[in-house]
Amino acid sequence: MSQNSVFEMALEQLNDAARRLNLDASTLRVLSHPERELTVACPVVMDDGRIEVFTGHRVQHSSARGPCKGGIRFHQNVDIDEVRALAMWMTWKCAVVNIPYGGAKGGVQVDVTQLTPNEIRRLTRRFTVGIMPIIGPHSDIPAPDVNTNAETMGWIMDTVSMFQGSTVLDIVTGKSIDLGGSLGRREATGRGVMFNTLELLKRKKINPKKTTVAVQGFGNVGSVSADLLTKEGCRVLAVSDVSGAYYCEAGLPIADMIVYCTTSRNHLLEGFSAPGVSKISNDELLELDVDVLVPAALEKQITIANADRIKADFIVEGANGPTTPEAERLLTQKGKIVVPDILANSGGVVVSYFEWVQSIQSFFWDEDEVNSNLKRVMVNSFKAVWDVHESHGIDMRNAAMLIAVGRVAQAIKQRGIFP
């Protein structure tokens, strides 16, 4: 497998599941190819009057079980290979938690730190127009991802609405509450990470109050995961973002760090200080002697190069694809348990589904209802994966993939191949 291709990494995971399922070659060929890919050029008038052109992608992997669903990320490393992989992982993520969606993903190759807010807004609207032919409330529903947020989703919704001539609330999820978003959506992915961590600790008969945690990434997923795990009694020893990593043996003041990031430059931890808090490297964070490691940044952070030095007993994947297959095999051989991304970070798409349902009905739930429904889905999904993990004697990723790929393959079989 090429070390440079996350899509080949996703295909390897699919092929492993297909072998275990004895999946027929024809269905495997269908699942190995995205249904649709669109690449668009996005010319943007910059604040100084010059025109820059950015490249964007939208990939729809599978609509066998329902409309495609997936986030849009703005990042300088976005390419079609990454977007294909993320779209495929979204298909499995929706299937493993049994919501009626297929997988999609979008992205624009851009360093947002080099753009002004107005330039980001114009880029978002231009990208939206570019992908409008293939998105829609019943075909493909975007959501936030890396470097996009509720405000970005509001711009997308407004852009589509201007073309439609009416407000289209259900074109995206992850919107602000004022624009038809769901209560609990912002915290949903991190809350799902927390539920999965607690369910794992329960199976291993470990008290959360005696559990130490390190979280790589302090964006929406990482910060919420760290905050909620702290509130459950876990001691979060380290967190990091692109500006560096921070460590405190007594446990970090996560709530203070979140407040700090609301007003800091680029919303980063850079410059944060508190008694007992020291700076460490990102490599040191990944290799800390903690009970739980939550990689919640980008892909391929745990590789064959550092897997042997990972000391955490449990890795709960807050990010998409943070562990390469070679690294995971080594971790599994050493007795580590990896809760895979398609299960661990699926809370976001579950509450996105709740938001979509609420938008269609124009009937909105209170936050307790959202969170209790999320917990029910997460607990049931974890149990299903854990039961397959134990009964088949396989790692949790393969267990999750058996469930997910099996459900999508069954949908394809029942629908048949058009024409």
Helical spans, DSSP H, in 177-321: 188-203, 220-231, 254-263, 282-286
pLDDT (tens digit per residue) in 93-131: 999 999 999 999 999 999 999 999 999 999 999 999 999
How far is the first Cα of the chain from the last one, in angstroms, to the nearest whole number? 34
What is the structure's pLDDT at 244? 93
| pTM of the complete model beyond 0.95 | no
Confidence of residue 5 (pLDDT cuts 50, 70, 90): confident
* 375 pLDDT more than 60: yes
Q: β-pairing, 314-316 with 292-295?
A: parallel
The pLDDT tens digits for 141-188 are 999 998 999 999 999 999 999 999 999 999 999 999 999 999 999 999
Distance CA 354, CA 373 (A): 9
Q: Return d(Cα 187, Cα 256) in angstroms, integer.
A: 17
Per-residue pLDDT at 265: 87
CA dist list (Å): 344 to 29, 199, 378, 390: 27, 11, 9, 18
Residue for token pair 């998409």 = 320
Q: How far apart are CA 102 and CA 68, in angstroms?
A: 4
Give the chain's domains with CATH numbers. 34-179 (3.40.50.10860), 188-339 (3.40.50.720)
Checking if the pLDDT of 1 tops 70, the result is no
Task: Give residue 3's pLDDT band: very low, low, confident or very high (50, 70, 90).
Answer: low
> Model confidence over 170-179: pLDDT tens digits?
999 999 999 9
Classified as helix, coil or strand, 68 is strand
pLDDT band at 139 (very low <50, low <70, confident <90, very high): very high
**Mean pLDDT computed over every residue of the chain:** 96
DSSP H or E stretch at residue 292: strand 292-295
Helix (H, G, I), strand (E, B) or coil at 181: coil
Residues 325, 8: Cα–Cα separation, whole Å? 10
Tokens of 345: 């970070």
Q: What is the pLDDT of residues 258-296, one digit of tens each?
A: 999 999 988 899 999 999 999 999 999 999 999 999 999
Is the pLDDT assigned to residue 404 strictly greater than 90? Answer: yes
Active site residues: 105
Tokens 């919420």 correspond to what residue?
224
